[in-house]
Amino acid sequence: MKLGIIGCGAIGTDVALAADDMEEIEKIYLYDKLKEAEEKLIKRLKKGELVKNGEELIEKSDVVFEAASQEAVFEYGEKVLEKGKDLVIMSMGALFDDGFREKLVSLARKNKCKIYLPSGAVCGIDGIAAASIGGLHQVTLVTTKPPESLGIESEKREVLFEGNAREAVKKYPQNINVAACVSLAGLGFDETRVKIVSDPVAARIHHKILAHGKFGRLRAEVENMPNPNNPKSSYLASLSAIAVLKRIVSPVQIG
């Protein structure tokens, strides 16, 4: 399989390094608007190759992995699926745009390809998805981060946001992609509740999902270490991305 990675930041780097050791992957194409990021990563890969632009990357790849930004999803998402290539989206906050999301789904169905959405920095997504089939009544995501992970300076614990997931993703596009994943698995962007807390004594990034419905009650919590290369992102987000990649190339599907 030939893998294309758009975005050579923290998550793109983690995925590329893991893919470099997978025997099922024969080539890794890289593209980032920041040439320094490309050059830094390509030196660490055995199977890596730089391309001139996103279009060339899509043409050469079997699967395209977006690890850049919501803007990259808007720019390249349709192009990937129009070519019949599978697409992995990390910046899934872009999918709060209902019309855009429906267009991607329509293209994937028409061209018989897949859109993969890693669970990111949370646990319990499989439970939310299963519960939504039998009747899911309420889902709340509470995210607590150190101020630096939210790009602010503060010496007191404070609630920065409380509202629905659609508003959260718009206001914090780089920090709350997990809200998009939880929403798409369950009640949608407008019905999923989100609370974002800044806590200066928090050493880790904490996500808590609370849900109830006909199935019973669900409570899933995870305390994530920040990615050492990007404190705004949880390291588990990178690991979930690698897990999806392993799922794509593996004959055994779990969950």
- Among 137, 206, 207, 212, the active-site one is 207
Paired residues of 125 in beta bridges: none
Q: What span, in angstroms and rounded, lies between the C-alpha atoms of 227 and 142?
A: 20
Pairing of strands 63-66, 2-6: parallel
Q: What span, in angstroms and rounded, lies between the C-alpha atoms of 123 and 220?
A: 6
Based on the number of CB atoms within 10 Å of its own CB, is 167 exposed (0-12), middle (13-18) or buried (19 or more)? middle
Inter-axis angle of helices 98-110 and 70-82, nearest 10: 30
212 part of the active site = no
Map residue 149 onto helix, strand or coil. helix
Which residues are marked as active site? 207
